[in-house]
Amino acid sequence: MTATATTAAAAPSGFRTYTHRQILLVMSGLMLGLLMASLDQTIVSTALTTISRDFHRPDLYSWVITSYLLASTASTPLYGKISDLFGRKRIFQAAIVIFLIGSALSGLSQNMYELIAFRGVQGLGAGGLISLAMAIIGDVIPPRDRGRYQGYFGAVFGASSVLGPLIGGFFVDQASWRWVFYVNLPIGIVALLVVNRVLHLDHFPSRAHIDWVGAALLVAGVGLLLVGVQEAGQTASVTTSALAYGAAGLVLTIIFFLWESRSPEPILPLRLFSDRVFTVANLLAFVTGAVMFGAIIFLPQYMQTVRHVSPTMSGMRLLPLLGGMLFTSIGSGQIISRTGRYKAFVVAGTAITAVGFAMLTQITIHTSFWLLSVIIFVAGAGLGMFMQTLVLAVQNSVQAKDMGVGTSTVTFFRNLGGAMGSAVLGAVLIDQEKTSVGHYIAQYGSVAGPLHAFTHGMDRAYLYAVPVAAVAFLLSFALREVKLRDGSHANPLGEGSPLPLAESAAAISTVGADGL
C-alpha cells in the first residue's frame, strides 16, 4: 500500500483526503508564504547601513528589525486561535494581504519613522504566515506521514535565514534597498493565487467569540517585555527605561495568564500545558530559539566586519549552515515518517547543536573558511534535526480543535526565545568588545585590534550560548515519545502513551519504501 493510500484510508469520516500531488500543490503555496515571512527576518540586515544613511537616522536603524520582530511574535498566538474559529484558509490569505501591504508601504517609506511603522505591519502579517503554514499542514497530512513533508518547511526556514543576507546584499549592491521589500510582492501574489486555487479545507463554523481582552493583554505584555529586552541589549546595560518596559511587560503578561484562566474562549488555553509533550516542546522551542538566532545574526557581521567580504559574499559564506539544515531537516523527516519515532532526533539534534556552538567559540580572525564551513555546517545540522520535529510532536499530541493554537504556540515561544536570546547575546558581544578593544589595539595595532575585539566578543557570546544549548539537550530527554497518529483526531492512546513495537513494525510495513 502506498503512503498516499495510507493517508486516504486513515482519514476520519467527514474529513477531506488529499493525494500526494494535491499535497505538493498545497505545500507550494504555503512554502511561498513561509519564505516571505522568514526571509524578512534577515534580508533587511545587510541593507540597514544604507537605509540609515539615506534617512540620516543611524540611531533608529535597529528598530527596523525590532518592530517586525515585536509584531510577528505578539500576533502569532492570535492567528492560531482565530484560525481555529474561522478557518485557516481565509485567515492565511488575510495574513498574506497584510504582509504585502506592509511590504509595499515599507518600500515607499520616506523617513525612518514610516519604515519602522510599516515594518510593524509586515510583522503582523508574518505572524500568521509562519504559524498557519505549519497548522495547515497539520490539517492536511496525518502525523505519521507529516514528517517527510514537514522537513521541507524546515529547509525553507533555514534557506531563508541564510539567503536573506545574500539577497539583501545583492539588491543593495545592484539596485536599491527598496527592492528588499518590493521583492515580496510577486512572491506574495503567486502564493495568494496558489492558495486560493488548491487549498480546500474542511471547517465547521463556531459561534465562539474572540477573547479581545486577552489578545490586548498578550500583545501589550509581550511587546513591552521585548522592547525592554531589546533596549537593554542594544545598550549592553539595564537602563531605567529598559527596566520600566520590562517590568510593565511582565506585569501585563502575568495579568494575561490570570485572565486566560477564567476566559471561556482563551487565546492560549492553559489546559494545553497539562500535556507534557506540549509543555516540553514549547520549553525546547524557547531555549533553542535563543541560541539559533544568535548563530544566524552574528556570522554575517563577522564575515563583513572581520573578513571584509561584501554583503552578497557574506551570504554565500553561510551556505554550509543552510546545507547542514537541509540535510538533517529533510533526512530526519523521511526517517520519522518511516519509523513513527521522533524523540531520538530531538535528543541528537540538541546534542549536535551544543557541540556546534562549542566549536563556534573557537573562531578567530584567521580561521580558514574551510574550517569555518565545517563548524557552521555542524551547527546547522543540529538545528535542522529537531526544529520542525517539535512542531510535529505538538501537532500529534493536541486535539484537532487545538491544532492552530498548538502550532502557533511553538512558533511564538521560538520567536520569543530568539528575540530575547539575540538581545542578551548581542549585549554580551558589545560589552566584551568594548572592554577588550583597548587591550587588542595595544597588542595588534589600531587596524587589527578592533577586529580581534569583535571576534573576542562574538566568541564570548557563543560561550554563553553553550550552556543554554546544553540545557536544551538535557530537557530533550523529558519529551515523551507518543505514537504518531494515522488520522487527524487526537491520539487514541492518550498523551504520553508509548509506541508499541508491534504497531511500529506494522506501520513501517504499511508505509513501505515510498519516499517523497
pLDDT tens-digit readout, 278-309? 999 999 999 988 887 766 778 877 887 888 88
Identify the residue whose cell numbers are 544566524: 296
The angle at the Cα of 338, spanning 334 to 344, to the nearest 5 degrees, equals 75
Q: What is the DSSP letter of 368?
A: -
Residue 490 confidence (pLDDT): 40
Query: What does the H/E/C string look like for 233-253?
Result: HHHCCCCHHHHHHHHHHHHHH
Cell of 56: 540620516
State CA 409 to chain mean position distance: 11
Q: Which CATH architecture has domain 3-210+265-511?
A: Up-down Bundle (1.20)
Alpha helices in 206-342 (DSSP H): 212-235, 240-260, 276-305, 311-317, 319-339
Tell me the per-residue pLDDT of 395-408, one tens digit each, with 9 for 90 and over. 888 887 777 778 78
Residue 471 confidence (pLDDT): 93
Residue 497 confidence (pLDDT): 37
Q: How far apart (Å, rounded) are the C-alpha atoms in residues 192 and 264? A: 34
Query: What does the H/E/C string look like for 38-61?
Result: HHCCCCCHHHHHHHHHHHCCHHHC
Handedness of CA 12, 196, 31, 330 (dihedral sign): positive
Q: How far apart (Å, rounded) are the C-alpha atoms in residues 188 and 166? A: 20
Of 92, 171, 156, nearest to 127 (Cα)?
Answer: 92
**What is the pTM assigned to this prediction?**
0.76
Query: Torsions phi, psi of 54, nearest 5?
Result: -65, -40
SS3 510: helix
Cell of 238: 539595564
Give the max Cα distance, the chain: 75
Query: For residue 273, what are the contacts with CB-CB under 8 A and spacing of at least 6?
Result: 279
Q: How far apart (Å, rounded) are the C-alpha atoms in residues 350 and 332? A: 13
Q: What is the mean pLDDT of each run of 10 residues along the chain (516 residues)?
A: 39 54 80 80 74 78 78 81 80 92 93 91 88 79 70 70 75 84 89 82 60 84 83 75 88 90 82 90 90 75 83 77 84 83 92 93 91 92 86 83 79 83 84 90 90 92 92 93 62 36 31 30
Cell of 254: 502575568
Helix-, strand-, coil-residue percentages of the chain, each rounded to 5: 80, 0, 20
User: CB–CB of 349/382 below 8 Å?
Assistant: yes
User: CB–CB of 415/290 below 8 Å?
Assistant: no
Identify the residue whose cell numbers are 525553507: 156
Residue 153 confidence (pLDDT): 72
Residue 363 confidence (pLDDT): 92
Cell of 229: 529586552
Query: Torsions phi, psi of 409, nearest 5?
Result: -65, -40
Residue 504 confidence (pLDDT): 32
